[in-house]
């Protein structure tokens, strides 16, 4: 339970409002029939990439369910852009050291595994880097329990030029609706920095599919002026639904999966 609490505190990197946090998101187009193999190898080669020089502070792994053009999304969090760069170099050095430590027989096994993993991980993938700060949305229910899989809805927005005030007012109203409904268990947000992606993302977590459906069913109501101005400020929008599978432990930095 402690691990899972740490995961989500760091997963969206909003616990410390005084500083910015960086998230590196990779979207993988892994065939569904190879998902178990990919997840096993992803943990294996992530874990051997850890060293005393690792700077990753947490992360999450999600299976894609609806919308979008990928099957797995991996999130890795850092305190700064420079830490992300340092971690990339440190991971490469750790993998090299791991490879050099293997016997010839072990290399005969690990080599094909590494090649197969890279083929699945790299094929048709894309990345984006996002940022959160003291202005990001952050809310968690008092009874929040991260020991089970969660349903995550990602709402993505591009905002029209000069209309941030109307957009932000709508966000605050939406956040209050989430809170007052008593159904979602957490809400976070971040902004686009580099790579492909929308300018603003909101992440809404539910305990189950039935909770998600209950919120959607109860959320149909006429738009007020704040809602109308909010949608008038939106240039582009899409939603995606994912299932949380696990993450990067904040203490060991190893990947684990929720059972």
SS3 sequence of the chain: CHHHHHHHHHHCCCCCCCCCEEEEEEEECCCHHHHHHHHHHHHHHHHCCCCCCCCCCEEEEEEEEECCCCCEEEEEEECCHHHHHHHHHHHHHHHHHHHHHCCHHHHHHHHHHHHHHHHHHHCCCEEEEEEECCCCCEEECCCCCCCCCCEEEEEEEEECCCCHHHHHHHHHHHHHHHHHHCCCCEEEEEEEEEECCCCEEEEEEECCHHHHHHHHHHCCCCCCHHHHHHHHCEEEEEEEEEEEEEEECCCCCCEEECC
CATH 3.30.70.100 fits 135-243, yes or no: yes
Helix-helix angle 225-232:164-181, to 10 degrees: 130
Check whether 68 has a pLDDT greater than 70: no
Q: Residue 127 and residue 26: Cα distance in Å, rounded?
A: 5
Domain ranges of the chain: 2-129+245-257, 135-243
**pLDDT score recorded for residue 244:** 94
pLDDT over 90 (residue 82):
yes
Query: How many of the other CB atoms lie within 10 Å of CB of 214?
Result: 15
Confidence of residue 70 (pLDDT cuts 50, 70, 90): confident
**Model pTM?**
0.88
Q: Does the fold of domain 135-243 match that of domain 2-129+245-257?
A: yes
Contact between residue 27 and residue 51 where contact means Cβ atoms under 8 Å apart: no
Mean pLDDT score, 130-147: 85
- Model pLDDT, residue 221: 79
Average pLDDT, the chain: 90
Q: pLDDT digit string (tens) for 17-40?
A: 335 689 999 999 999 999 999 999
What confidence category does residue 15 fall into, taking pLDDT thresholds of 50, 70 and 90? very low
pLDDT band of residue 67 (cuts 50, 70, 90) is: low
Q: What band does 101 get if pLDDT is binned at 50, 70 and 90?
A: very high
Rounded to whole angstroms, the Cα distance separating 9 from 1 reads 12
pLDDT over 50 (residue 4): no
CATH topology of domain 2-129+245-257: Alpha-Beta Plaits (3.30.70)
Compute the C-alpha angle 155/201/122, nearest 5°. Answer: 95
């Amino acid at each position: 339970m402690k691990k899972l609490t740490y995961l989500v505190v760091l997963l969206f990197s909003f616990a410390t409002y005084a500083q910015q946090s960086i998230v590196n998101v990779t979207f993988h187009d892994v065939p569904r029939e190879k998902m178990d193999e990919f997840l096993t190898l992803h943990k294996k080669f992530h874990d051997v990439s850890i060293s005393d020089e690792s700077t990753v502070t947490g992360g999450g792994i999600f299976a894609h369910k609806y919308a979008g053009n990928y099957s797995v999304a991996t999130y890795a969090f850092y305190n700064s852009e420079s830490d992300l760069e340092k971690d990339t170099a440190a991971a490469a050095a750790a993998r090299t050291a791991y490879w050099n430590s293997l016997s010839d027989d072990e290399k005969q096994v690990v080599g094909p595994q590494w090649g197969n993993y890279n083929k699945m991980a790299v094929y048709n993938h894309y990345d984006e880097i996002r940022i959160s700060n003291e202005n990001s949305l952050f809310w968690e229910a008092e009874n929040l329990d991260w020991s089970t899989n969660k349903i995550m809805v990602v709402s993505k927005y591009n905002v029209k030029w000069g209309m941030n005030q109307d957009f932000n007012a709508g966000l605050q109203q939406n956040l209050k609706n989430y809170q007052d409904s008593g159904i979602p268990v957490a809400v976070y947000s971040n902004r686009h920095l580099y790579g492909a992606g929308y300018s603003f993302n909101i992440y809404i977590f539910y305990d189950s599919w039935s909770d998600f459906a209950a919120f959607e069913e109860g959320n149909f109501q006429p738009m007020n002026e704040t809602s109308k101005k909010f949608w008038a400020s939106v240039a582009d929008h899409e939603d995606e639904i994912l299932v949380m599978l696990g993450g990067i432990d904040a203490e060991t930095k190893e990947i684990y999966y929720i059972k």
